Amino acid sequence: MNYRVIDREKYYRKGVYRHFTEDCKCSVSMTARLDVTELVLFSKRTKTKFYLNFLYILSKALNSRDDYKMGYVWETDELIVWDRIDPTQYVFHEDTETCTPVYSVYCEDYDEFYRAALANMEKAKLEREYRLDDANHPNRFDASYIPWLSYDSMNIELPDGYLYFAPIVNWGKYREENGRLMMPVTVRLNHAVADGFLTANVFRLLEAELKRLCE
């Protein structure tokens, strides 16, 4: 969980960062449909879980660029970039209609990541508490699946003035459109460290990583 401190005077988004941390504290949230046809076929062919395969693709995409690994240290007022960010996903319990956070560690090796993430999920199925552990996982980002609905838009609000820079990503149920399987994905980023280009770029990275995994 190492990080480096960014010199805000040399930060390439210096002006934008100042404006959206002092004058207009807000986020950028974008929903788009991602073609997951090939990923569904890959999951069936390899007898693996679609959910974990997408989680791997998402983690790899977000770890490919420093802009998505930004953080803020309140105690020292430091802007930082993590060496790595790890996904926090959630296991839903049908009987109680509650969920349990699952902490995984991103690893570029697909097989290693998949095995560990699957084990983490199976362990979480035995728990019933909603217990966040930011102290031991400060470099986490939220990755939440909404399997009950193929939605068209989604928005997540955080309190005004709260400098939370980790990505928040949600995705819903995929559905067939013109012979392709399309899945809604929502990406939320703090405007201080990301704009429309960087938010939209997440989808471009997801498309590239999806193609790479399924080749």
Reported as a single tens digit per residue, the pLDDT across 79-133 is 999 999 999 999 999 988 999 999 999 999 999 999 999 999 998 888 878 888 8
User: Which of 103, 88, 98 shows the shortest CA–CA distance to 168?
Assistant: 88
| Architecture of the domain made up of 3-214 | 2-Layer Sandwich (3.30)
Does the pLDDT of residue 171 top 80, yes or no?
A: yes
The 8-class DSSP code of residue 179 comes to T
Distance CA 81, CA 70 (A): 4
Mean pLDDT of 138-163: 88
In the chain, domain spans: 3-214
Q: Dig out the tokens for 212 from the structure.
A: 């790479």
Q: How confident is the model at residue 55, as a pLDDT?
A: 98
**Cβ atoms of residues 41 and 53 within 8 Å:** no
